[in-house]
Structure 1
Amino acid sequence: MTRQDILNDPAIGNKAEAFEAFDDIPTNPNLSSTIGEVVAARYSRRDMFKGALAVTTTTALFGTSAILAPKQAAAAGSSRYNFTELEWGNDTTHHVAEGYDADILIRWGDPITADAPEFDVMNQTSAAQLQQFGYNNDYVGFTALNDAGTRGLLCVNHEYTNEEVMFPGLGRQDRDGFAGMTPELIDIEMAAHGGTVVEIEKETTGAWRVERASPYNRRITPLQTEMTVSGPAAGHPRMQTNADPDGMKIIGTLNNCAGGMTPWGTYLMAEENFHGYFWTSKLNAEGRPDLSSLPPAQAAQHKRYGVPGMWYAWGTRHDRFNIDIEPNEPNRFGWIVEVDPRKPDAMPVKHTALGRFRHEGCETTLAADGRLVVYSGDDNRFDYQYKYVSTGKVGADNAANSQLLSDGTLFVARFDEDGTVAWLPLVYGTGPLTPDNGFKDQGDVMIDTRIAADLLGATPMDRPEDAQPRGDGTVYLMLTNNSRRKPDQVNVANPRPENAFGHIIEIKEDGGDHGAPAGRWSILVQCGDPSVAAVGAVWNPETSQNGWFGSPDNAAIDADGRLWVSTDQGGNWGKTGKSDGLYGVETEGSARGTSKLFFRCPVGGEMCGPYFTPDQETLFLAVQHPGTDGTKDLAGFERHSTFEDPATRWPDFDPAMPPRPAVVVVTKQGGGKIAV
């Protein structure tokens, strides 16, 4: 199928859906041992075919209590999530569990500085957008400014833009070569990407508000924010460009999906699908990039990363995004960016020691001896799960702490048949990471992290998204889906071809130490509808029809050590009939593998965040791209959204306003900890 065939598919309603379909081909050539095949060897392949809740499968995941009748199982162990579960569904607004308030805190276009203009959706400018809240808010973090935690800095990623519902009269641009994207519209898109830091305060009423005049407030964008580089790839020849011959000054960050907060209060922005922003004028007969004019090694490197994706027209306006002019520029994206939210004039840093790939997140914790540990997944079909461990220990000096992100070892996971996971070091000169395989130094290993992981024999996974560590040495991996799984790879962990629903893996690091070089793994849940045997979903039988979900994405661990999971089904939510939402997922005892629905999004929106304040009395959630994905499946609407005709006008419900991505604040009516 050619590029234009995909773009013209009537079932595809927006650019994001189109390029997800176009980008659906795995770039990993090393598919000889998927995680599913490993699990098949561990749990008998024959047993898998006994049904979604077969005794062998279910007891392997949850223990013998899970095969009891639902009422018996409920008596054996009760949920730690104390709230009345929502009913599933999909409509034009958001819903939260009974007894809770879910208030809009900040929306796309809201001014964040004292002199910023008010949002004028019909007369947008890049200058205004640089002082307004960005588009498609994904990760949300919070760091307190006072001991009570009632004042703090909200740190929010802005992943991408949807021009068909963002700009009046424009429509989809991907199908006609972005002919309508003027230089100013491109710059508005760029100004709407990146991140926002904004001060917020909890009032005596219990409501939170934005402090617009705060000196901390800032936007971080790929249009104009200057960044420096640390670690093994800093100044590397492959990081040098015509505009930056020293390879040390990069303008901006983009496609910032999930992220993390460090123990010392800085904000980590993960660069995910960076490949989609690069352009070329050289295409083959199928409309795909022709890299034959590049040196063979460079062409292979770009191909492994999917560069250039041509999702945006930025390369037609800014030479740095055109690989015909700047072939090294893609090497300057795909990193973890550290921002100090308390120092608005401080330059963000791209930390190359954490590797270059499509980072979904960068969640931090401490090893038993005080070293920093960072978990991050590579969000692509058949790519890998990573862990970084610093050389030094976290201390009281924040400047020294930031150096820990430049001096350490990056590891990639291999999941073995005996239930162990080995963390393989990505170190130059180790094993195959030598000049014979194209690596001249550690900078090369980090720039080509994916290729290095291929050579080490890491386990290809089903789109590793967020990885959420808990203080006891446990980490939960969100494997969102893999539509490219073949029928002969069916097994317990990935029990269906064209896996649309995903699963969650639990790792217990050896000795309860996140710094350990090995651990043990198991399956927490296999997602999808457990009432349909052909789906192959596996949940604890206590899970209700409201509680099961598909496509786990972001996650959080609250102050009580409980796991919360948000979902991202994209345009495929019609396969479940459910909007994306937030679920409490049991990880312990006889209730392990039980899930309850707490919050759900308006149609077409993705559930992002989640992030709890330390006292667990406030939950920040982000709803991005409301009214876009899969709106053809909304009963009564049944067409694709546009600026003029969206499926919902959430959260304003103003006939003059399109849907707007927004951050939601959830609090308990009358006060108190959430779900306790």
Structure 2
Amino acid sequence: MDVKHWDADEEKRCSPENIAAFSDLLKNRLQTEKAINTAIGTDTLDNQSNETLEAEASMFSFEAVSAGVDGTHHVAKGYRADILISWGDPVMGDAPEFDANHQTPEAQEKQFGYNNDSIGFLPLPRGSKNPDHGLLVVNHEYTSRKLMFPDHKPKKEKKADYGLRLCQVEMAAHGLSILEIEKNRNGRWQTVRFSPYNRRITPLRSVLDISGPAAGDARMQTKYDPDGFHVIGTLNNCAGSITPWGTFLTAEENFNGYFLGHKKDHPDRLKLKRYGIPGKWFDWGKHDSRFNIDMEPNEPNRFGWIVEVDPYNPNARPVKRTALGRFKHEGAGIVLNADGRVVVYSADDQQGEYLYKFVSYKAYDDHDRRANFSLLDEGTLYVAKLDHIGNLDWLPLVYGHAGLNEENGFNSQADVLIDTRLAADLVGATPLDRPEDVVPNPENNHVYLMLPGVEARANEGRILELIPPQGDHTALQYRWDLLLQTNVKATTHKHRRKTDPKPDKQGLKKDWFVAPDNCAVDGQGRLWVTTDQGEYWGRSGSADGIWAVETQGRKKGAARMFFRVPVGAEMAGPAFTPDDKTMFIAVQHPGSDGAKDYPPFARESTFSDPVTRWPDFNSKQPPRPSVVVVVKKDGGVVGS
């Protein structure tokens, strides 16, 4: 999430009461654990020195990248970081060469989109574990107009025409890119220009299906789609994951910001308010009636879902899976449970919102791929309730249960899913500190939840570890613990008070970080965490990056920086090949955030005057969001 995106309704959710309630919950949790550990003589936090812990074996052996900020990227010693593809590069075989000064929607629909976020790698051929050839699915979360377009409009175009074309280019730069990639003779990754798998999915013209309990509901029907089963596009696609049957789940996050209009006379005005609609971050509604709630009152109900995409079938329509609920999905962490059922974890990325999981009714069929395409349409959606002694209860969001009925404004399961936030409010879920990505670890069956917090502005954050009993992800009671807590002074984890007490030559600590955002677990069960401080990176003194986090032993929770982004950028991704020898990461909005706080620049960053021109460093090119490929120079496992 771009932390600049806040509206009045969101600010109300960030009330002192909401923040204090969750902070108190965590404080009580830590005090309870400390009391238990002291009573049984295992209070390792106090009794173990940093020096003793440093001697413990680590899951990682690379030397940490130093904290800092400048105009380019940095990767750990012994590694190579190559640019695979950047905004405007060809995706389709007939895509024109990128011309930043003369952009068109027709060209952008065939070119790599803007602000690449989550990445998924799927081996070719399907069903194999080929680490050298596959498909890459990349989310394009949003656009940054001040860095995308020249600072002046063409003289020959009318203002209205220019505004329309500008919006259409932005629409075409959203959505997803699907690319075939392979290693060349020199062992370097490259895109396959004329692959039949390559395609763009955008909110400009791409048609998607709607499935599950809300499909066809009256509240999903519009002038374009009077039956409520189809929608044009997907947008603000943030994190995602690969399903066991080889599809990609992509999360629609801040969909509210794309709508204009007035909710005063809207029949669902109170429900719109709960979702921050209309957000009015984009002016698309001036040119496309779909994004104006005065003209299409139900269109917002058709966004905010998890979307399933089949990269192996370029003719397959993506599907919005309504059984997983509608909210600002940060991601969709999927796990195959021991009994064969599928569980999908997702968090609602806003202060004071909730953590959810979906459990399928049917089991995964390893011999019938098509049978698995309906698994995410039938199941139960749950929301989490946490207490201070480490218990987590999953509360079902089912029509007719726990007050989810007509008396409280829910007339069907479709209503429960369209208004998931209101349903979660009613059943008593626990408000969290801006829950972001949530990812299961198949090696230990634990689940990691990123909480950058509204105080990401003050550079704080936490990572929670959720522990299903006996590894059963369908269970209704879990345990939860604090894996680590971050702020501008130090990162605290379970076995010591502060990490790396000795600053480097610049006065910056090497093994702490702030604002955890996205994460991934590699094939060895190791946790990789990306950060997003937004405009507030100056408080930490370092640009964002990706961090390797220990998940076992007495070093559990300790971290070290592996990759650092250029000034103004956010770190996103990552994804790994099946052999863990290649890492794909996404560098979002380089040159965007905090340029005024960067002393060598100290002014607003724009298309013609950007704080960095990464990755091209060409005076004729603006900074371009890009996917980076990281490999170890000796060919070994990343992080080893």
What's the TM-score once normalised by structure 2's chain length? 0.92
2:265 aligns with 293
Q: Distance in 1 between matches of 2:3 and 2:344?
A: 30
Partner of 2:114: 135
One of 609, 613, 623 as aligned partner of 1:645: 609
Cα distance in structure 2, aligned partners of 1:645 and 1:32: 38
Cα deviation, 1:385-437, whole Å, max 9, x if unaligned, reads: 01111011111222211200100111110001221101111111111111110
**1:506 maps to which residue?**
465
Paired residue secondary structure (2:352): strand
Contact 2:615/2:624 (<8 A) preserved: yes
| Structure 2 partner of 1:158 | 140
Letter in 2 for 1:344: P
Matched, 1:380 2:350: yes
Written as runs of structure 1 = structure 2, the 5 A alignment for 1:251-290 is 251-280=232-261, 282=262
Partner of 1:108: 87
Q: Which residue of 2 aligns with 1:574?
A: 538
Query: Amino acid of the residue matched to residue 507 of structure 1?
Result: L
Q: CA deviation at 1:28?
A: 8.5
Give me the whole-angstrom Cα distance separating, in 2, the residues matched to 1:441 and 1:531. 48
- Select the residue among 320, 327, 337 that pairs with 1:350: 320
Deviation at 1:204, TM superposition (A): 3.4
Q: CA deviation at 1:510?
A: 1.2
Give the corresponding residue for 1:525: 484
Structure-2 residue corresponding to 1:92: 71
Alpha carbons of 1:56 and 1:621: their partners in 2 closer, same or farther (altered >3 Å)? Answer: farther
The structure 1 residue matched to 2:583, chosen from 613, 619, 622, is 619
Range with bigger deviation, 244-253 or 144-153:
144-153
Gap regions ≥5 residues in structure 2: 154-158, 503-508
Please point out which of 70, 79, 82 is paired with 2:50. Answer: 70
- Work out whether 1:406 is the aligned partner of 2:377: yes
1: CA distance between counterparts of 2:544 and 2:452? 13
Q: Determine which of 243, 249, 252 is the counterpart of 2:230.
A: 249
Partner of 1:590: helix, strand, or coil? coil
| Correspondent of 2:101 among 109, 122, 125 | 122
Q: Cα 1:190–1:169, aligned 2, differ >3 Å: closer, same or farther?
A: same
Matched residue type, 1:20: W
* TM superposition shift of 1:34: 3.5
Alignment deviations for residues 332-391 of structure 1 (CA, whole Å, 9 cap, x no partner): 000011111011111110000000000000011111201011111100000000111101
1:35 to 22, 34, 58: 22
Distance 1:421 1:162 in 2: 39
Equivalent position of 2:156 in the other structure:
none
Q: Residues 44-98 of structure 1, C-alpha deviation per residue, up to 9 Å, x if partnerless?
A: 49x9xxxxxxx879989x95166433212222x2321110111110100000000
| Aligned residue identity for 2:612 | T
Equivalent residue for 1:11? Answer: none
Q: Which residue of 1 aligns with 2:635?
A: 671
The 3-state SS of whatever aligns with 1:461 is coil
Q: Which range is displaced more, 33-42 or 396-405? A: 33-42
Judging changes above 3 Å, is the alpha-carbon distance between structure 1 residues 68 and 542 closer, same or farther for their aligned structure 2 residues? farther
SS in 1 for 2:166: helix
Scaled by the length of structure 1, what TM-score is found?
A: 0.88
**What is the CA–CA distance in structure 1 between the aligned matches of 2:378 and 2:21, rounded to whole Å?**
31
Structure 1 letter corresponding to 2:331? G
Which residue number corresponds to residue 287 of structure 1? none
Task: Give the letter aligned to residue 417 of structure 2.
Answer: M
Amino acid at match of 1:167: F
Are residues 107 and 57 of structure 1, via their aligned partners in 2, closer, same or farther at CA, if it must alter by over 3 Å? Answer: farther
Output aligned runs, 1:413-428, within 5 Å.
413-428=384-399
The 1:198–1:641 alpha-carbon spacing in structure 2 relative to 1, beyond 3 Å, is same
Amino acid at match of 1:37: D
Tell me the CA shift for residue 169 of structure 1: 1.5
* CA gap 1:259/1:364 in 2 versus in 1, 3 angstroms: same
The change in CA–CA distance for 1:16 and 1:72 in structure 2 (over 3 A counts) is closer
Q: Distance in 1 between matches of 2:477 and 2:36?
A: 25
Contact 1:527 1:538 in 2 (8 A): no
Q: Distance in 1 between matches of 2:26 and 2:282?
A: 39
| Residues 180 and 81 of structure 1, relative CA distance in 2, 3 Å threshold | farther
Aligned to 1:20: 6
Contact 1:230/1:406 (<8 A) preserved: yes
**Structure 1 unaligned spans of 5+:** 1-14, 48-54, 172-177, 283-290, 485-497
Residue 279 of structure 2 is matched in structure 1 by: 309
Question: Structure 1 residues 63 and 138 mapped into 2: Cα distance closer, same or farther (>3 Å)?
Answer: farther
Q: 1:377 to 1:170 in 2, by over 3 A?
A: farther
**Aligned to 1:405, what secondary structure does the other structure show?**
helix
Query: Matched residues in 2 for 1:482 and 1:65: separation?
Result: 27
Kindly state the Cα deviation for residue 673 of structure 1 after the two structures are TM-superposed.
0.7
- Deviations 1:549-600 (CA, angstroms, capped at 9, x unpaired): 1100010111111111000111110110111100011121111121111000
CA distance in 2, matches of 1:42, 1:343: 47
Decide whether aligned partners of structure 1 residues 169 and 22 sit closer, same or farther in structure 2, where only a CA change above 3 A counts: farther
> 1:636: how far off?
0.8
Verify the 8 A CA contact 1:138 1:157 in the aligned structure 2: yes
In structure 2, how many angstroms separate the alpha carbons of the residues matched to 1:127 and 1:163?
18
1:314-348 C-alpha deviation (Å, 9 max, x unpaired):
00000010001111100000001111101111111
Q: Could you tell me how far apart the structure 2 residues matched to 1:548 and 1:32 are?
A: 23
| Whole-Å separation in 1 of the counterparts to 2:306 and 2:120 | 15
Contact 2:499–2:511 (8 Å) recurs in 1: no
- The equivalent residue for 1:659 is 623
Deviation digits for residues 463-496 of structure 1 (CA, Å, limit 9, x no counterpart): 1111010123200000011249xxxxxxxxxxxx
**Is the Cα–Cα contact under 8 Å of residues 49 and 496 in structure 2 kept in the other structure?**
no
SS in 2 for 1:390: strand
TM-aligned CA deviation for residue 39 of structure 1: 2.9
Q: What's the C-alpha RMSD, in Å, of the aligned pairs?
A: 2.5
Question: 2:287, 2:62 → 1: CA distance?
Answer: 51
**CA contact 2:500–2:511 (8 Å) conserved in 1:** no
Look up the equivalent residue of 1:70 and give its one-letter code: N
Distance 1:645 1:407 in 2: 51
| Counterpart secondary structure, 1:160 | coil
| 1:605 CA drift (Å) | 0.5
Say how many residue pairs are matched: 620
- Distance verdict in 2 for CA 1:273–1:641, change over 3 Å: same
Residue-by-residue CA offset, 1:262-316 (whole Å, 9 max, x unaligned): 1111011100000000001x4xxxxxxxx22123xx1110000000000001000
Task: Answer whether contact 1:35 1:415 (CA < 8 A) is retained.
Answer: no
Write the distance in 1 (CA, Å) between the matches of 2:2 and 2:446.
34
Mark the CA change 1:610 to 1:110 in structure 2 (over 3 Å): closer, same or farther: same
Q: Structure 1 pair 216/66, CA: closer, same or farther in 2 (3 Å)?
A: farther
* Paired letter, 1:448: D
**Counterpart residue type for residue 632 of structure 2:** K
Letter in 2 for 1:380: Q
| Partners of 1:185 and 1:23 in 2: CA distance | 28
Check whether the contact 2:360–2:379 (CA below 8 A) recurs between aligned residues: yes
